[in-house]
Chains A and B, each alone.
Chain A
Amino acid sequence: MNSKLKDMVWVFAEQTDGVMADVSLELLHKARMLAGKMNSEVSAVLLGDKVEGLSKTLFAHGADNVYLLDDVELKDFRSMPYANLITNLVEEKRPRVVLFGATHIGRDIAPRVASHTRSGLTADCTELKIETLTIRKVEHEDLLLQIRPAFGGNIIATIISPDVEIQMATIREGVMEMGEPDASRKGTIIPVKVELDSVEVAVKIIEKHQEASSVNLKGAPIIVAGGYGADTPEKFQLIKDLAKVLGAEVAGSRAAVDAGLINSERQVGQTGTTVRPKLYIAIGISGAIQHRAGMQESQKIIAINSDAEAPIFQVAHYGIHGDLTDVIPKLIAAYKSQLH
């Protein structure tokens, strides 16, 4: 470790069966920017069984140090062992910032770590910044600005934890950019002793079923998404037809998922997947901020909506005011005619 720099910005490196979660690499990229403002190094906290080999990936994506907790008891994720070991390490080293992916795992353990260390914790942030703020004439250095949609997504709130030392946040997958890995980057592995008592390992995993996702929304160049305006299977079929013609993936807003028109793994938005395709076609989606949070970084956005006032038009590049049963067939015909 470079002795001139502090070790103040940490990222929980989430792995499953030896595969690193994308969100952890995205967070390392962000952590580098935050650490730059704090004059600090970036450390990853890696737990698992025989996972030392993942350190290289973590260094390439921006970690200066990897705290390595390697033990057979950590092979599969379990709340108590993971949370308690991270808690012990945080209490000992006292970093200023600890970031977790807002995954089933990150959202399970971050609250336990924050509770024990009495840290501030904000869930599902969409942006993070480091600033020095003066609050009631007291200067607070290296404050983590935790920015997230709040109140059903109708407002954007900036949360700070000015009176505590440790500031924690969870961040959804796909919201931050991953950045290019640099294979020549080197770092230090810091082994951490793993000690667990019988109470901490008392929860047993009886069965586990996990499939590689058949849906790859994040990697799709074109996405056609339907929402509340496509509220019948017949209307939603038109959306699927358009996707097929364009060679696109089909997605939906939360309304479409709740209506049972599409599987939840195809949900785009704050509680679904965040996507940045070349082209996003939003059909019958009004554009509540929860949805926009998941798609507004798309390179081009086409919105088709029967409500001329729908907020989706304000983030769209092309807006078509009309009924989807009329517009989609015309759009398919126009596309086909230009292809030939």
Chain B
Amino acid sequence: MSLHTIVLVKQVPDTSNISGDVMRPDGTVNRARLPAIFNPEDQEALELALRLKDKHGGKVTALTMGPPNAANMLRECLYMGADRAILVSDRRFAAADTLATSYALHKAVHRIGDYDLIFGGRQAIDGDTAQVGPQTAEKLGIPQITYTLEVQNLDLKKKTVRAKRAIKNGYEILEAPLPVLLTVTKDAAEPRPFDVRRLCTYKRAQSRFEIEATVDDSHDLVWMDELMEKIKADDLLIETWNIEDIDADVQWCGLAGSPTKVHKVENVILSGAEFKKVPATSDGLNDMITDLMQDHIFG
């Protein structure tokens, strides 16, 4: 049996580097001002999948749902060692919450076909929900191992995997039948650097959007199809799937398929405690401690 692992990846705005001009005066976020990065835990998930491939052979498929520019992250997956990259992208997926996202991802997994393992990061840094992994597993009807710290043993004959997962104040080791979905916590596996030879090859990999952008009106559709075929034959196509390609029902996609809606967004209001400025001198600090002792905070 040849191992096939699918890795769910997401391109996210780098929320750890928010500077002043990213926040609009009304408290909303100007996403365009944030650099887009490979969600860190998803990159660790890819690394875990590649390590299993190094050991057992087989294939790794990187799958994302996102805007056209998520092709940048998929190229990074190819540089690291993924064999295949798939971009699920369609305007009708826009504003999807975790339920609509997992619906689209599970339909894309169905189109991919046979798989043994699915990996994903525990959560994405733009939402921190940790919901898409378990919701995708539920829709596929397979078990899950969340908060995975390490994969200890993969037995392709018995079709089982053993993994260590974090629990409160400790860990447990689970054995699950394949196929199973695992979500990976940070520090599970330091992602490998890009392979230079792969980088030289796959920097030319293109999604359908990118190929279309290079084609002008003077070319006809047949020419376009031939170009796509050629790029695919060269193994440089980032497959690009829309709603019809994954046979998704539009009512479960995007905003329509998302039960949760943002009702209101507010700037963070600080509680405005009764504030005393204390000089950084012995006298100032002495006065503060006297205050606190009178309030019975100390002692």
Instruction: Tell which of B161-169, B201-209, B242-250 binds the partner.
Output: B161-169
A-facing mask of B129-148, CB < 8 A → 1, else 0?
A: 11111110111000111110
Enumerate chain B interface residues (CB-CB to A < 8 A).
15-16, 18, 22-23, 27-29, 97-99, 102, 125-135, 137-139, 143-147, 162, 166-177, 180, 259-282, 284-286, 288-293, 295, 297-298
Q: CB distance A111 to B135 under 8 Å?
A: yes
Distance in Å from the Cβ of A174 to the closest Cβ of chain B? Answer: 13
| Cα–Cα, bound, A29→B235 (Å) | 58
Question: Which listed residue (A116, A155, A205) contacts B29, Cβ 8 A?
Answer: A155
Residues of B within 8 A of A112 (CB): 134-135, 137-138, 144
Question: Given A80-B143, A222-B297, A320-B288, 14 other A-B contacts at CB below 8 A?
Answer: A111-B130, A115-B102, A120-B260, A121-B98, A121-B131, A123-B128, A146-B260, A203-B145, A204-B174, A205-B172, A246-B298, A279-B297, A334-B286, A337-B286
Main secondary structure of the interface of B (DSSP, over half): mixed
Question: Which listed residue (B99, B146, B289, B297) contacts A118, Cβ 8 A?
Answer: B99
Q: CB distance B173 to A333 under 8 Å?
A: no
Q: CB distance B273 to A104 under 8 Å?
A: no
| Cα–Cα, bound, A333→B286 (Å) | 9
Q: CB distance A108 to B146 under 8 Å?
A: yes
Distance in Å from the Cβ of B161 to the closest Cβ of chain A? Answer: 10
Residues of B within 8 A of A95 (CB): none
Q: CB distance A152 to B138 under 8 Å?
A: no
Residues of B within 8 A of A116 (CB): 138
Q: CB distance A208 to B172 under 8 Å?
A: yes
Q: CB distance A338 to B289 under 8 Å?
A: yes
Q: CB distance B18 to A154 under 8 Å?
A: yes
Distance in Å from the Cβ of B78 to the closest Cβ of chain A? Answer: 28
Distance in Å from the Cβ of A296 to the closest Cβ of chain B? Answer: 6
Whether, in the assembled complex, A232 has its beta carbon less than 8 Å from a beta carbon of chain B, the answer is no
Residues of B within 8 A of A158 (CB): 262-266
| Cα–Cα, bound, A210→B264 (Å) | 40
Distance in Å from the Cβ of B168 to the closest Cβ of chain A? Answer: 6
| Cα–Cα, bound, A311→B272 (Å) | 11
| Cα–Cα, bound, A149→B126 (Å) | 11
B-facing mask of A311-332, CB < 8 A → 1, else 0?
A: 1011111111110001100110
Whether, in the assembled complex, A275 has its beta carbon less than 8 Å from a beta carbon of chain B, the answer is no
Whether, in the assembled complex, A278 has its beta carbon less than 8 Å from a beta carbon of chain B, the answer is yes
| Cα–Cα, bound, A265→B170 (Å) | 11
| Cα–Cα, bound, A105→B31 (Å) | 32
Instruction: Tell which of A51-59, A61-69, A181-189, A299-307 binds the partner.
Output: A299-307
Q: CB distance A164 to B259 under 8 Å?
A: yes
B-facing mask of A22-61, CB < 8 A → 1, else 0?
A: 0000000000000000000000000000000000000000
Question: Which listed residue (B127, B270, B286) contacts A338, Cβ 8 A?
Answer: B286
Given contacts A112-B138, A159-B263, contact A104 B146 (CB under 8 A): yes
A-B contact pairs, 20 of them (CB 8 A): A111-B131, A111-B133, A112-B135, A114-B131, A115-B99, A124-B128, A150-B265, A156-B268, A157-B265, A157-B266, A158-B262, A202-B176, A206-B162, A211-B169, A222-B297, A316-B275, A320-B279, A334-B286, A338-B289, A338-B293
Nearest A-chain residue to B13, judged by Cβ = A151
Nearest B-chain residue to A324, judged by Cβ = B280
Residues of A within 8 A of B127 (CB): 123, 150
| Cα–Cα, bound, A79→B138 (Å) | 10
Whether, in the assembled complex, A138 has its beta carbon less than 8 Å from a beta carbon of chain B, the answer is no
Residues of A within 8 A of B125 (CB): 152
Residues of A within 8 A of B297 (CB): 222, 278-279, 299-300
Question: Which listed residue (A115, A145, A296) contacts B138, Cβ 8 A?
Answer: A115
| Cα–Cα, bound, A153→B270 (Å) | 13
Given contacts A114-B99, A210-B170, contact A202 B272 (CB under 8 A): no
